[in-house]
Amino acid sequence: MVEERYHPQEIEEKWQRIWEEQKSFRIAEDSSRPKYYVLEMFPYPSGRIHMGHVRNYSIGDVVARYKRMRGYNVLHPMGWDAFGLPAENAAIERGVHPESWTQENILYMKTQLKRMGLSYDWERELATCEPEYYRWNQWIFLQLYKRALAYKKSSSVNWCPSCKTVLANEQVIEGVCWRCETPVMQKELEQWFFRITAYADELLQDLDRLEGWPDKVLTMQRNWIGKSIGAEILFPLVDREGALRVFTTRQDTVYGATFLSLAAEHPLALELCRGTSQEKTVKEFVERIREVNQARRGEEEGEKEGVFTGSYCENPFTGEKIPIYLANFVLMEYGTGAVMAVPAHDQRDFEFAKMYRLPIRVVIQPKDALLKPGEMTEAYVDEGIMIGSGPFSGLPSDEGRVKVALFLEEKGWGKQDIRYRLRDWGISRQRYWGTPIPIIYCDKCGIVPVPENDLPVTLPRNVPFTGKGGSPLLENRPFLEVSCPKCRGVARRETDTMDTFVDSSWYFLRYVSAKFDSAPFDSMKANYWMPVDQYIGGVEHAVLHLLYARFFTKALRDLGLAKVDEPFTNLLTQGMVCKETYRCEQHDWLFPGELAGSEREGWRCPRCNRPVEKGRVEKMSKSRNNVVDPEELIAAYGADTARLFTLFAAPPEKDLEWSAQGVEGAYRFLTRLWRFVIQHREILAAATSDLSQMELSADLRNLRRLTHRTIKKVTEDIETRFHFNTAIAAIMELFNAVSSCAKDGSESDGEIRVIKGALEAMIVLLCPFVPHVASELWECLGQQTALEGVPWPAYSKEAMEEEKLLIVVQVDGRVRGKITVPADASGEFIEEEALADPKVRRFLTGKEIQKVIQVPRRLVNIVLEG
RNA sequence: GCCCGGAUGGUGGAAUUGGUAGACACACGGGACUUAAAAUCCCGAGGAUCCGCAAGGGUCCGUGCCGGUUCGACUCCGGCUCCGGGCACCA
């Protein structure tokens, strides 16, 4: 006797075992079938999976299983983004070694992922913290170094003087260290960089080719790269040698430049004031700006502030002598660190000029107004007609921009120029748990790359984790002390490790040959599998990860390792998983479970009994006490329910609002389906779904029609737009039709066949969403073959053909009646029927019909006069 | 400030090319089964209003707001409001 109740745990365990034993999802290259590479962003092994993972990987698994059933050779791998700070923090706080901590987490999370029934080829699993992986980070670094795409320079970083360590921007919270709350300083440090700017233009251009990416992400990347077309202009210094270089995009306003502004960090800043009365003031200003500047950058757009350097330069266009100022809003990192100030046509210069009473000269006249410097309350920054601009006066500003640029090149006063907001990628991290940068410093030979044969440079295990005093690698002498590869002399190893974004910039290539040991990946296999056809992950990686991965792909292509220009053809950025929150004004976020009171009378804080504000629906996070643990969910309802709910509750790109009742509903659907099949299993297993030569009643023909329409709908929803929620709704609808059809109990041969056909279709269609229960029910229907290998069902046009059509009849655009006509009825016939319908006629009496509009197979609109 | 999204019942969402707004699900209400409850099953439902003893039927309003195009607008166009996200002294 088969257990009648739906026990997801047993079923899921059974099928997961079968898939594992039969290696159902192991994959290899196969030139006879089209390939499909579907990839979800690999997780950081933080300890446990969260709902965001459940959603991400459920979506990916639907795609993978669907494409497999469509006959594609599907690559669907999984791995671990295993380097990173939390492992080191665990070491500092709890004395666990980062490696053991990470490995334990990986092991645990892997069993959690397996519990979800995800169809990965686990033989390709990788973890970026393994020497077999990170040695190739080092190898790639060396190749980039050879081509000057990796280089070292001094740059300023966030520095916590108490922890003696560098902080990432995210670790600086309101100007203080996230861990010890010491104010963060800026410090100049020698750091390694990747020259991503060498690819700025290609990275920008190729965005146009990424048609399968969301516009939002493309826009964010465009803004991030920030290409500006303009000119570099030389302003000769007065009474001394040299000139100041400025970058501007508005060379058409150069006649209105009445002063120059430099960044406080500008190399000439102090020199320009030397010997002038301004020397002391300038020095104080520079000092102050340096302290404040970056530590609080982005906090607010404070007052414009500056100081006169005491020196002048000449505007080459006007021949005028104009003062040089330092200004707090000029950034050394962008352009040349110097700008020509045109107060009339730049808001910042305008504010600055007002404050220091500098002249404002209008050189662009708008079409519909007359600008007077004394009356302006803000800069005029739009296009217009050039005035007071010598030979250029009278030109439209956009045209003038081109002419001025050509003119200054002719005169040798500068050149046309393009600048990017994008900066080179600093990859040095003063940390232990990352890829050691393969560089050796020798007093004699200088910077010496580690010879490729000596790779990998492995992390020493035995180091102290104190959280103080910089990288633990500095304390490990066997690691630190090496002999120079060139001169064999005493040398010192680089102790910085790489940014973990390096690891994730090429992992998708490693999967094609995860165990390959003579190069980062097997180029032949990469040529077969790449690019990734569908990449799926959170929108939080819209810029950094996705930009770095694109950069690496192009760089590796130029190294001759891969052929593709772009790594990811299609990108799906899934929404966040959210849930309602509860907040007490004194005790902050509360768990729903700890609330006192009730929904009806209002919730109260268990500690202070204050009314609790039912907060907004927010992204699940520990700090907001609104997380749901997937493990508990799966233990209570099974993986299929977890998958079904997350796929059904919202389309993937939108945020998903968690609902315990919604989960219940998903579970209820699976239970109903289960019970239906189990209750009829004998009769269904014995029956066939072959309908050839069968005479069917109208009801059965309808059910058959709905079956085929559902196949079509589900196929299109998955294929064209990943709208799994509507696909699932359609399957539910079909099931509702099946169960009400079976209710009357007549059970003719034809009926059993049609119902069996409907169920077979439903189960195959459900396989990508809820693979375990679908597999089990497939078996119950008497099927021998593995469900995941069954071809996706086709829909028959003939079976979908309507016999009767429901036509809506409108009068003046309002629905007034509905008529049913044979599917092959003529337009004339339909019009006649529509006009004859009693409900319609009431609106026609005494009126004259102006015209009748027909939408074939749908509607008739009778338009009356007036 | 600039750029990108979004706004539809009590709730999540559907309506794919301009053609019956509210599929599917949740929550809710009523009923059946039960000693009872849970579970399950059945029925109902956008709002207002009218007609009828009743089953039922009718009318008007309704997709953030205002206006436009159209026989017909959640969908297209113009102008706003609010919410979310990204960037933010980038010269």
Residue A321, pLDDT above cutoff 70:
yes
Nucleotide nearest to A815 (CA to C1'): B20
**Nearest by Cα to A523 from A573, A476, A561, A575:** A561
HSE-CB at A194 with a 13 A cutoff on CA atoms is: 25
Q: Which of residues 811-840 of A touch strand B (CB under 7 A)?
A: 812-816, 818, 839
* Residue A549: pLDDT over 70: yes
What are φ and ψ of residue A279, in 5° steps?
A: -50, -50
pTM of the predicted structure, to 2 decimals = 0.93
Distance of CA A70 to the CA centre of its chain: 27
The CA–C1' separation of A428 and B65, in angstroms, is: 53
Q: A334 forms bridges with which residues in the sheet?
A: none
Label residues A384-397 b or e (16+ Cβ within 10 Å = b).
Answer: bbbbebeebeebeb
| CB A513, CB A525: distance < 8 Å | yes
| Distance between the alpha carbon (CA) of A814 and the C1' atom of B61, Å | 13
Least confident stretch, A41-45, A502-506, A561-565, A839-843: A839-843
Ramachandran angles phi, psi of A155, nearest 5°: -155, 165
Q: Which pLDDT score is estimated for A2? A: 45
Q: How far is the CA of A81 from the C1' of B58 (A)?
A: 66
Q: Mean pLDDT for chain A?
A: 90
Q: What was the pLDDT predicted at A297?
A: 46
Taking C1' of B24 and every protein CA, the nearest residue is A729
A729 touches strand B (CB under 7 A): yes
Condensed to tens digits (0 to 9), the pLDDT of residues A461-520 reads 989 888 776 788 988 999 999 999 999 999 999 999 999 999 999 999 999 999 999 999
Mean pLDDT of A6-31: 95
Q: Quickly give A656 CA vs B9 C1' distance in Å.
A: 20
Amino acid of residue A322: I
User: pLDDT tens digits, residue range A284-311?
Assistant: 998 888 776 554 544 455 678 899 999 9
Q: What confidence tier does A174 reach under pLDDT thresholds 50, 70, 90?
A: low
Question: Worst-scoring range by mean pLDDT, A1-15, A386-400, A714-728, A777-791?
Answer: A1-15
Convert the pLDDT of each residue in A394-403 to its tens digit: 999 999 999 9
* Omega cis (within 30) before A531: yes
What mean pLDDT do residues A350-379 have?
A: 90
Q: Which nucleotide is nearest to A817 (CA to C1')?
A: B20
Distance, CA of A651 to C1' of B13, in Å? 9
- Residue A200 CA to residue A554 CA, distance in Å, equals 11
- Please determine, for residue A681, whether its predicted confidence score (pLDDT) is greater than 90: no
CA A168 to chain centre: 20
The DSSP-derived string for A382-421 is S--EE-S-GGGTTSBHHHHHHHHHHHHHHHTSEEEEEEES
| C-beta separation of A244 from A315 below 8 A | no
Cα separation, A493 vs A52, in Å, equals: 40
CA of A809 to C1' of B57 (A): 18
Q: Residue A821 is inside which H or E element, if any?
A: strand A814-822
Amino acid A130 reads E
Q: Which nt has its C1' nearest the CA of A298?
A: B88
Give just the sign of the alpha carbon dihedral A344, A347, A351, A352: negative
Q: What is the full DSSP assignment across A455-507?
A: ---PPPS-----S-SS-GGGG-HHHHEEE-TTT--EEEE---EE-HHHHTTSH
Residue numbers in A 654-683, CB below 7 Å of strand B: 654-657, 659, 661-662, 664-666, 668-669, 671-672
Residue nearest to nucleotide B42 (CA to C1'): A740
From residues 186-245 of A, list those within 7 angstroms of strand B by Cβ: 215-216, 219-220, 223-224, 226, 228, 230
Sign of the alpha-carbon dihedral angle for A679, A685, A689, A690 = negative
- Residues 6 or more apart whose Cβ sits within 8 Å of residue A705: A799, A800, A801, A802
Q: How far is the CA of A821 from the C1' of B71 (A)?
A: 22
pLDDT of the residue at A296: 53
The closest nt to A348, taking CA to C1', is B89
Residue A745 confidence class, pLDDT cut points 50, 70, 90: low
Closest nucleotide to A248: CA versus each C1': B91
Using the CA of A648, give the nucleotide whose C1' is nearest. Answer: B25
The helix (H) or strand (E) run that includes residue A217 is helix A215-225
Q: What is the mean pLDDT of residues A666-674?
A: 95
- What tokens appear for A550 in the block? 């694109």
Average pLDDT rounded to a whole number, residues A247-267: 94
Give the separation between CA A452 and CA A457, rounded to whole angstroms: 10
